[in-house]
Structure 1
């Protein structure tokens, strides 16, 4: 009986030790697990953006690199906050559509992503996001905010701190912590996760009209995240849920046909 008890205690100890090792590994490597930064940079000259230019926007003592094109007279600028993977330049088709319809845009890589060297962290991403918004807003054009996936976090944060015309969130999370907890329910993510992006808290300060778009087949950020975030918005205007659409399917599914009338309505007197 004593031998059996010792074996059970030893196994329990080993189990605790293994669990602690997993938690420690997740803590030390969490940003490598959370962000998927590497990717090719597409040259501006290889796109259809013939009137856009490369910009280096100051953020404290450093810069973030991106592209900018002013709008046609009387039209707004879309400040675009990219998702978690690769470079902003890979989504040039979106920017080409924006400018074809008269909108200006600014898009960029956060620190630590391909076009902008540096360290990835929530603090740096939020600082980058605010600096780019303020830089673009200095020309006096009306401002629109579009955040996709990871970018929904800084987009919501900026909208809570600044007065834009509208906020569009594409495949947003309720918070990054929510996604992590859903993905790793057996880990104490709330205790160890550093970059939690609490959009569920920031949305309370968003007075702009809000459109949220999500797909029911999104396995990266479940559709309930978008639905729950929309329910918290003080000024909800539209919830576009696309049946059978995955995390990267909404552009092809026609999100621009939802975004454009939403932006026009938000800007109407």
Structure 2
């Protein structure tokens, strides 16, 4: 019996150490850039590093910055955005380590990059709205809490990555070892932007309770919550109700 207990403790310790050392590999899944939707046509220099991306509908007075999910090729949104959001200049800038951009993504670095890119975009437009999907919702809430934003669109968002990880890895002391927490719910009190939240009805990645906890923190700034029936975490953008809701939010 004692040998079994020791073996279990050893295995637990090994798994905990593995989670601790590889946690950012679980969180970030950088995808290479594709030119199937057009070549990258804009760049920003942030802390001496060049971040490349795409800009659509240049010259519009209103702008939208899009922050993608952890394994998303954000350029795949270009056809949808061209068709649905013609009256906004749209910026899609892959994170450090994503697309063709060098570097390593971390919570601190992605926040810093996002704020500096926002400042550059804001200097060219009358207003700027933000749209964050999944992991990107955590970055969008950070910028919205620290800068003046027109509208905030959150797609399959969470209250915190810390809580998402605790749901999945309930057997480990996640709060003690996690490095990147993305605590969106804690920032809601500082967000003034009109906010729209889209939920995938069949989301198997972000549990509904994680999104509901975020929603509960909002007050009058929350304009609409749209539940896309039948949609999965990665398929939500394929549903007409998502498209019509996006149009409605940005009118």
Q: Does TM-score exceed 0.5, indicating one fold?
A: yes
- Give the match for residue 108 of structure 1: 93
- Give the match for residue 260 of structure 1: 247
TM-score normalised per structure 1: 0.86
Give the Cα separation in 1 of the matches to 2:223 and 2:53. 30
Q: Is the 8 A contact 2:200 2:232 kept in 1?
A: yes
- Give the match for residue 154 of structure 1: 139
Give the Cα separation in 1 of the matches to 2:34 and 2:81. 13
TM-score normalised per structure 2: 0.92
- Give the match for residue 12 of structure 2: 19
Give the Cα separation in 2 of the matches to 1:94 and 1:77. 16
Runs of 4+ in structure 1 off by over 6 angstroms are: none
Give the Cα separation in 2 of the matches to 1:95 and 1:262. 13
The question of 1:183 aligning with 2:175 is answered no
Selected match of 1:76 from 62, 83, 103: 62
Larger-gyration structure (1/2)? 1
What number of residue pairs does the alignment pair up? 249
- Please report the RMSD computed on the Cα atoms of aligned residues, expressed in angstroms: 1.8
Give the Cα separation in 2 of the matches to 1:26 and 1:107. 31
Deviation at 1:53, TM superposition (A): 6.2
- Give the match for residue 237 of structure 2: 251
Selected match of 2:178 from 193, 213, 227: 193
The question of 1:94 aligning with 2:86 is answered no
The 3-state SS of whatever aligns with 1:232 is coil
Deviation at 1:18, TM superposition (A): 1.3
Deviation at 1:158, TM superposition (A): 0.3
The question of 1:218 aligning with 2:218 is answered no
Give the Cα separation in 1 of the matches to 2:7 and 2:59. 65
Q: Mind listing any 5+ residue stretches in structure 1 that lack a counterpart?
A: 1-7, 265-269
Q: Is the 8 A contact 1:213 1:226 kept in 2?
A: no
Q: Which range is displaced more, 248-257 or 24-33? A: 248-257
